[in-house]
């Protein structure tokens, strides 16, 4: 089984590339994110590879980094999500936002992917909500401050509990009602709490104001 390929870029198409490895051309499918990071023709490329072997096909899927590869494997673990749909999701939702989209149950973000309808998006966010903590995610806002977090540590919404999770849910809902995307609202609330440190907001109004500041500065 092929796990990694390094060679020279021969050509690029909309959904794949051809990688020349010592004179052998490998056709490797990839997301728009990975394909956009490729060098000019003839440049050196190194990709992590997922190999899928079927009776009628031997397909290679390439990823510029391990995080995207891990997301690919997690997505195809959901019933009804094949390799093509997984790549479409990774093309539509950046890896550093995908965990927040799932944790916040943002089905609309997932349906941006070609071929992914509401039913499949619902299944994805439902089945993966408790699994995304396996992948450490550095969101754009947190990356700017050098702070890494995983979705579980970020406090993925617990709709049945009270306390801060209930306040967070109310704040996210309020921001969505104001017109912000659910994923952006969720990330802003998480960042507001992260920056508050020991002085955590205990009422929804304060948390909303702090989150709005984060959204305004992003």
Computed over every residue of the chain, the mean pLDDT equals: 82
The alpha carbon of residue 217 and the mean position of all alpha carbons in its chain are separated, in whole angstroms, by 22
Higher pLDDT, 136 or 24: 24
Topology (CATH) of 157-218:
Helicase, Ruva Protein; domain 3 (1.10.8)
Residues 87, 72 contacting (CB under 8 angstroms): yes
- DSSP secondary structure letter of residue 132: G
Least confident of 19-23, 72-76, 106-110, 192-196: 192-196
Structure tokens at 192: 């507001």
Does 66-135 carry CATH code 3.40.50.2300? Answer: no
Average pLDDT over every residue of 162-188:
78
The domain spans of the chain are: 4-64, 66-135, 157-218
Torsion of CA 52, 56, 58, 62, to 10 degrees: -60
In the predicted structure, residue 188 carries a pLDDT above the cut 60: yes
> Residue 50 corresponds to which tokens in the numbers above?
């997922």
Q: Is the pLDDT of residue 27 over 90?
A: yes
pLDDT > 90: percent of the chain:
50
Residues 6+ apart with CB under 8 A from 107: 118, 121, 122, 125
168 membership: H or E segment, kind and range? helix 163-177
Q: What is the pLDDT of residues 138-163, one digit of tens each?
A: 334 333 333 333 333 333 334 333 44
pLDDT higher than threshold 90 for residue 192: no
| Residues 171, 176, 178: CA angle, nearest 5 degrees | 95
- Nearest CA to 11 among 46, 49, 34, 42? 42
pLDDT digits over 85-115, tens only?
A: 999 999 999 888 888 888 888 899 999 999 9
In this prediction, residue 179 carries a pLDDT of 77
CA distance 113 to 91: 7
Share of the chain above pLDDT 70, in %: 83
Pick the CATH number of 4-64 from 3.40.50.150, 2.40.50.140, 2.115.10.20, 3.20.20.10: 2.40.50.140
Tokens of 149: 């977090």
pLDDT at 80 over 50: yes
């Amino acid at each position: 089984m092929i796990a990694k390929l390094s060679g020279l870029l021969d050509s690029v198409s909309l959904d794949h590339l051809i990688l020349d490895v010592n004179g052998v051309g490998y056709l490797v499918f990839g997301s728009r994110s990975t394909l956009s990071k490729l060098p000019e023709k003839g440049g050196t490329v190194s990709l992590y590879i997922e190999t899928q072997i079927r009776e009628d096909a031997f397909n290679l899927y390439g990823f510029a980094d391990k995080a995207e590869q891990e997301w690919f494997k997690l997505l195809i673990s959901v019933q009804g999500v094949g390799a093509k749909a997984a790549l479409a999701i990774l093309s539509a939702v950046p890896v550093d936002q995908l965990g927040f989209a799932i944790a916040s149950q943002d089905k609309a973000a997932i349906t941006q992917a070609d071929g992914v309808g509401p039913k499949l998006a619902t299944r994805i966010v439902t089945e993966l909500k408790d699994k995304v903590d396996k992948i450490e995610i550095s969101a754009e806002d947190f990356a700017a401050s050098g702070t890494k977090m995983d979705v579980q540590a970020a406090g993925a919404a617990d709709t049945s509990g009270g306390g801060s999770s209930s306040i967070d849910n109310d704040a996210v809902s309020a921001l969505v009602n104001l017109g912000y995307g659910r994923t952006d609202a969720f990330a802003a609330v998480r960042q507001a709490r992260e920056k508050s440190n020991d002085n955590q907001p205990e009422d929804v109004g304060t948390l909303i104001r702090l989150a709005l500041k984060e959204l305004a500065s992003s």
